[in-house]
């Protein structure tokens, strides 16, 4: 767009905030985005072409679950599992507002039935099951539906002798389902253990943020665990920690880079290398587990 047209059209644009940041600065929706990290504006087309990584500073914008799958799976290979599986409100939970309303709102906002999309696909030609979480859906918290979908996906991997690849993003357990959501940690961890006993590979990719009960269950139990740059990864939330220890948290605390240094990750992988990296790991683990070359 010529610069003169741009100025002319400026007043017609609607502005909105992108990326879930707290800064309420105006950004042109649809055409221009503003980076949460470096605050510079980015032309939307450029952002899409870069898989929503800021071309100025490398900040990784959030992706939707479907964008995640598009990023990872070989084109046209994804077939969804359990698309209609949805949460109900088992506890009739109501505090501040009814859980049922939160579910409706999340479904309206995202067009999704739940906070995770699961299915079958190939990655670099390897048969996999794949799952990706969508943080827009009640913080991609894990309730019964997320736990069930993760478990079915891992069970499908076992039954069909596929590798499992899961891309996480989650605030943790879905408290509105109370103890039922806590138990999804036990359920999904059991399913990972079974997949492992069957000798099938599981790779996880932790994206910003992966916290609480999702980190403390299926997310970190993978054979190889990668994370995106600067992703926040941990169990307890930083606010709770600050309240408990009554001191400021160190810079970079719970960042992917810090967790790598502390021995918790196999690597921090920029988004544009993720698919090829996972595919290469599958070359090692999936081929070996199928051909039994060495054993």
Partner 1 sequence: MSRKYVMEFERPLIELEEQLVALRRIDLSDNPDLMIEVSALASEIDRLRIETYGHLTPWERVQVARHPDRPKVQDYLAAIFSDVIELHGDRLYGDDAAIVAALATLDGRRMVVLGHRKGSNTKENIKRNFGSPHPEGFRKAMRAMRLADKFGLPIVSFMDTKGAHPGIDAEERGQAWAIAESLALLSELHVPIVTVGIGEGGSGGALAIGMGDRLIMLENSYYSVISPEACASILYKDSARAADVAEPLKMTAGDLLDLGVSDETIPEPLGGAHQDPEAVFSAVSERISSAVGSLVVIDDDELVERRYKRHRAIGVFEEGA
Residues near Zn ion (CB under 5 A): 35, 37-38, 54, 56-57, 59
**Residue 134 in 3-state DSSP?**
coil
We find the least distance from the C-beta atom of residue 154 to partner 1, in angstroms, to be: 11
Q: Which stretch binds partner 1 (CB under 8 A): 2-10, 18-26, 33-41, 191-199?
A: 191-199
Nearest of 148, 150, 190 to residue 167 by alpha carbon: 150
Which one of residues 9, 23, 105, 249 is an interface residue with partner 1 (CB under 8 A)? 249
Site map for partner 1, 134-173, x if CB under 8 A?
---------xxx-xx--x---------------------x
- Please tell me whether residue 251 binds partner 1 under the rule CB under 8 A: no
CB 35 within 8 A of CB 57: yes
CB 205 within 8 A of CB 128: no
Residues 29-68 that bind partner 1 (CB under 8 A): none
We find the least distance from the C-beta atom of residue 214 to partner 1, in angstroms, to be: 9
What's the Cα-to-Cα distance from 233 to each of 171, 214, 244, 264, rounded to whole Å? 10, 10, 18, 10
Nearer to partner 1, 26 or 101 (CB): 101
The HSE-up count of residue 270 (CA atoms within 13 Å, CB side) is: 11
Q: Which two tokens stand for residue 12?
A: 């017609």
Nearer to partner 1, 62 or 234 (CB): 234
Q: How far from chain centre, in Å, is Cα 96?
A: 27
We find the least distance from the C-beta atom of residue 229 to Zn ion, in angstroms, to be: 12
We find the least distance from the C-beta atom of residue 44 to Zn ion, in angstroms, to be: 14
**Residue 132 in 3-state DSSP?**
strand
CB 165 within 8 A of CB 124: no
User: Tokens 């001191």 — which residue?
Assistant: 247
62 interface partner picked from Zn ion, partner 1, none, CB below 5 to 8 A per type: none
- Please tell me whether residue 240 binds partner 1 under the rule CB under 8 A: yes
- Please tell me whether residue 79 binds partner 1 under the rule CB under 8 A: no
Question: How many residues are present in the chain?
Answer: 295
Nearer to partner 1, 36 or 82 (CB): 82
Report the DSSP beta bridge partners of residue 128. Answer: 121, 163
- Please tell me whether residue 223 binds partner 1 under the rule CB under 8 A: yes
Question: What is the C-alpha to C-alpha distance for residues 62 and 125, in angstroms, rounded to an integer?
Answer: 26
We find the least distance from the C-beta atom of residue 45 to partner 1, in angstroms, to be: 32
57 interface partner picked from partner 1, Zn ion, none, CB below 5 to 8 A per type: Zn ion
131 interface partner picked from Zn ion, partner 1, none, CB below 5 to 8 A per type: none
- Please tell me whether residue 221 binds partner 1 under the rule CB under 8 A: yes
Residues 86-125 that bind partner 1 (CB under 8 A): 86-88, 90-96, 113
What's the Cα-to-Cα distance from 151 to each of 78, 190, 295, rounded to whole Å? 18, 9, 29
- Please tell me whether residue 25 binds partner 1 under the rule CB under 8 A: no
CB 202 within 8 A of CB 164: yes
Question: What is the C-alpha to C-alpha distance for residues 38 and 219, in angstroms, rounded to an integer?
Answer: 29
218 interface partner picked from partner 1, Zn ion, none, CB below 5 to 8 A per type: partner 1
């Amino acid at each position: 767009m010529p610069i003169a047209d741009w100025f002319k059209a400026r007043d017609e644009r609607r502005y909105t905030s992108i990326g879930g940041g707290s800064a309420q600065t105006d950004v042109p929706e649809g055409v221009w985005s503003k980076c949460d990290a470096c605050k510079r504006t980015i032309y939307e087309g450029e952002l899409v072409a870069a898989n929503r990584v800021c071309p100025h500073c490398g900040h990784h914008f959030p992706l939707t679950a479907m964008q995640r799958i598009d990023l990872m799976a070989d084109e046209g290979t994804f077939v969804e599992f359990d698309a209609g599986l949805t949460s109900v409100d088992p506890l009739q939970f109501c505090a501040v507002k009814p859980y049922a309303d939160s579910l409706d709102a999340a479904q309206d906002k995202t067009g999704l039935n739940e906070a995770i999309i699961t299915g079958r696909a190939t990655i670099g030609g390897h048969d996999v099951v794949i799952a990706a979480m969508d943080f827009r859906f009640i913080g991609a918290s894990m309730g019964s539906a997320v736990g069930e979908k993760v478990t079915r996906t891992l069970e499908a991997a076992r039954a069909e002798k596929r590798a499992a690849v899961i891309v996480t993003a989650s605030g943790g357990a879905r408290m509105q389902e109370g103890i039922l959501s806590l138990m999804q940690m036990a359920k999904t961890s059991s399913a990972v253990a079974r997949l492992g006993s069957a000798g099938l590979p599981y790779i996880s990719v932790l994206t910003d943020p992966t916290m609480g009960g999702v980190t403390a269950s299926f997310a970190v139990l993978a054979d190889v665990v990668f994370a995106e740059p600067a992703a926040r990864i941990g169990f307890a939330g930083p606010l709770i920690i600050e309240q408990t220890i009554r001191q400021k948290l160190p810079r970079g605390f719970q960042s992917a880079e810090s967790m790598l240094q502390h021995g918790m990750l196999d690597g921090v992988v920029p988004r544009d290398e993720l698919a090829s990296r996972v595919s290469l790991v599958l070359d090692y683990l999936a081929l070996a587990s199928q051909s039994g070359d060495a054993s």
